[in-house]
Every structure is written in structure tokens, then in C-alpha cells.
Amino acid sequence: MLWYFNEMLKFFFLNNIYIIIEKIINFINSIFFIILAVGLTFALLLSPPDYLQGDTVRIMYVHVPSAWLAIGCYAFIAMLSIFNFIFNIKNFFLINKSLAPIGLLLTCLAIITGSLWGQPTWGTWWVWDARLTSMFFLMLFYIIYILSFKIIKKESLATKVSSYIAIIGSINLPIIKYSVEWWSTLHQPASIKISGSSTIHSSMLTPLMLMLLVLLLYCALIFLMKYKTEIIRIKRKNINRL
Amino acid sequence: MITQLITMNGHGIYVWASFAVVLVSCSIFYFKTKKTLKKYEKEYLIELKKLAEVDRQILLKKSKIANNIYASSNKAN
């Protein structure tokens, strides 16, 4: 049963997905700049300044989506690493390998934009408070994760080591989420809650969601391009095995 | 209005710097990823062209990936 599932995935992923990836990339390319233009117009022109923070609140429209997606990417990588241990499916490692650099980029962007928001709001670029420190650790885990499969040449060992790193690093995710509640931090608590009422006005929520969509599409685009590269790399290795 | 948009009551430097950092780094990352993809496609194509004609035709028939890369390279030429 497991073998059948694996074989089915192998066929589905490497041959048919490649064609689907091509179509999705073209689709994202065709709509991306329109959504980006709308998102930027809302974020920089149409949304109102905050009554306390003034125009610096606009940094939220790039900072928050970057942080959300960086955490989301890592959670996904950790989940696939656990599945990889159970089912031993090579495609999961390829997906993780393609996803990790995007996650690292988004984590760095969340930290840099957070720092640029911190200076006018808190009067400092950086403090070692719980939220900022846990995000810094997320960046470190991403770096170690990427280095593990860059340094280790033997693929089976690289898969194993990187999976361990991803799973260990996932302990940091609830710390990031609840750091503002567990400790007294400079960072504000979450304004948007999945369960319960959000404390953000719709005039700010709209640009935030639009910019989230922009970054989500960007992530999908980069992920698909990297995944396509990985497929070609494998196919190139096996080209003489006719 | 334009001056207000640029200065943002003295906070413009932080806001514009944040958006610029995101846009520039995302663009660089996009072009770097695209360049790597093109490099791998090119290398795959070279390997494909090295194959004997019969083997290449079999591969092109069997593999949608090979077919796709080969077709897009022919289109580019």
C-alpha cells in the first residue's frame, strides 16, 4: 500500500506536475503585477495613518505578511519532515529544499522591516525581547537547515539531518506566537486573531490582506521555480538511464 | 500632496526604506532563481542533445519534462 502510494506520487509529481507548474507560473506572472499595484496603492495611499503611530503603521503591510509567511513556511517544512520520516517520500525533501530559501528571505525581511518600524516607534532598532529573539532564532534555524543540505553531499544523510533540524526548530514556532503573551515585551500583542475578534479596522485590514496575497503569490512563484529546478536536476542525473 | 506622500510627517525614510528593502531583495531573489532555472534547463538540453538520435526520440516521447524543455528551446531559437 505504502509502496503503491509512493510510486503514484513519484509519477504524479515528477512528470505531470512539471507541466502543471509551468501553467501555474504563467498564471501567477499574468496577475502578479496587477495585484502588486493594487496592494501598494492601498498600503501607501489609501489606508489611513494610525492615530498613535502615524504613517509608520504602513510598515505593517510588509512586516506582518513577511513574518506570517516565514513562520508558515517553517511550519510546513517541519510537517513535511515528520511525514518524510514516516513515509520516506523523496518529493517531500525536494519541496522543503525549494521552500527553505524563501522562508529565510521572508524571516530576514520581517526582521529588517521590524527594525525599521522599531526605531521611530520604540526609539531603538533592536532589543533582545522575546518576540525579536525568537524570530532571530527562526532565522538561525533556516540558515542551519539550508546549510545542512548544502554541506552534506550524501542525499539520504542530508534528508535525515535536515529533517531533524526542521523538527527541533519547530519548537520555536509556538514560542514566537505566544512570546508576547508569556513575557513582557516591547512588541505589541497580535491584532488579528483567527478565533475571536480582531482589533484592526477594515481600512487597515484590506491593504494588509492584499499585501499578504502579493507575498503569497511571490512565494508560490519562487517555490515553483525552485521546485522545477530540482526536478530538472534529478532528470538530468537520470538522463542516460533509458 | 506629493511632498506629504514622500515625507510622511517625518517618517517617510522608515516607510520607504521598508518597502524598498522588500521590493529590491524580492526582485534580486526572483532574478537569481530564474537564472538558476535557465542554467539547469540549458545544461539538461546539452545532455539531451548529446544522446543518440534514437535515444533522444524515445526520451522525448516518454518524458513530458524533456519534451517541454526541448520544445521551449526550439521556440526560443
Asked whether residue A114 carries a pLDDT value surpassing 90, the answer given is yes
**B76, pLDDT greater than 60:** yes
Interval B16-62: pLDDT, tens: 999 999 999 999 999 999 999 999 999 999 988 888 888 888 888 87
Q: Residue A62 forms beta bridges with which residues? A: none
Q: Find residues 141-170 of chain A whose CB sits inside 8 Å of chain B.
A: none
Mean pLDDT for the stretch of residues A94-108: 96
For residue B25, the chain A residues in CB contact (below 8 A) are 105, 108-109
Cβ contacts of A112 within 8 Å, gap of 6 or more: B18, B21
How confident is the model at residue A7, as a pLDDT? 59
Longest dimension (CA), chain A: 67
In this prediction, residue A3 carries a pLDDT of 61
For residues A159, A18, A101 and A7, what is the CA-based torsion angle, rounded to 10 degrees? -20
pLDDT of residue B50: 86
Is residue A66 a contact partner of residue A218, using CB atoms and an 8 Å limit?
Answer: no
A112 contacts B21 by C-beta, under 8 angstroms: yes
At A24-47, the pLDDT tens digits run 999 999 999 999 999 999 999 999
pLDDT of residue A242: 57
- Asked if the C-beta of A56 comes within 8 angstroms of chain B's C-beta atoms, the answer is yes
Across the interface, which of A18, A101, A218 has its CB nearest the CB of B26? A218
Q: Which of residues B67 and A12 earns the better pLDDT score?
A: B67
Whole-model pTM?
0.90
CB B68 within 8 A of CB A18: yes
**A177-229 pLDDT, tens per residue?**
999 989 888 888 777 776 667 778 888 999 999 999 999 999 999 999 999 99
Can you tell me the distance from the alpha carbon of A110 to that of A185, in angstroms, rounded to the nearest whole number? 17
Q: What is the ipTM of this complex?
A: 0.90
Please report the pLDDT score of residue A9 as a whole number.
60
Verify whether the Cβ–Cβ distance B63 to A117 is below 8 Å. Answer: no
Point out which residues pair with A54 in neighbouring strands: A50
- Which three cell numbers mark A50? 494610525
| A138 φ, ψ (degrees, to nearest 5) | -60, -40
What would the mean pLDDT of A84-90 be, rounded to a whole number? 85
Residue A79: pLDDT over 70: yes
